[in-house]
Structure 1
Amino acid sequence: MTDYVMNALGVDQPRADQLRKQYWAQYGTTLAGLMREHDVDPAPYLVDVHDISLDHLETDHALASEIRALPGRRIVYTNGTAPYAERVLEARGLNGLFDAVYGVEHAGFLPKPEKAAFEAVFELDGVTTQTAAMFEDEQRNLMVPHEMGMKTVHVAPDPHEADHIHHHTDDLSAFLRKLS
Structure 2
Amino acid sequence: MQQAFSHIDTWIFDLDNTLYPPQAALFDQIETLMVQYMTETLAIDTKTANALRRDYWVKYGTTLAGLMKHYAIEPEDFMQQVHDINLDHLESDEQLQNRIADLPGRKIIYTNGSRNHAERVCAARGITNAFDEIYGVEDANYIPKPRADAFEMVFEKAKVNAKTSAFFEDEARNLEIPKTWGVTTVHIGAHDDAHYIDFRDTDLSVFLSRLHTAGFRA
TM-score by length of 1: 0.98
- What's 2:163 paired with? 130
- What's 2:196 paired with? 164
Unaligned 5+ runs, structure 1: none
Q: What letter is aligned with 2:100?
A: I
Task: Report matched runs for 1:1-180 at 5 Å.
Answer: 1-156=34-189, 158-180=190-212
C-alpha displacement of 1:87? 0.5
Q: What letter is aligned with 1:172?
A: L
Structure with more relative contact order (C-alpha pairs < 8 Å, separation 6 or more): 2
C-alpha displacement of 1:148? 1.4
**How well do the aligned residues superpose, as a CA RMSD in angstroms?**
0.7
Tell me the distance in 1 between the aligned counterparts of 2:89 and 2:78: 23
Q: What letter is aligned with 1:141?
A: N
Give per-residue Cα distances to partners, 1:160-180, cap 9 Å, x unaligned.
Answer: 111110011112112112222
TM-score by length of 2: 0.81
Among all aligned residue pairs of Structure 1 and Structure 2, give the percentage whose two residues are the same amino acid: 48
Contact 2:99 2:208 survives alignment (8 Å):
yes
Q: What letter is aligned with 1:92?
A: R
Q: Which runs of 4+ in 1 moved over 6 A?
A: none
Tell me the distance in 2 between the aligned counterparts of 1:142 and 1:8: 33
Q: What letter is aligned with 2:156?
A: E
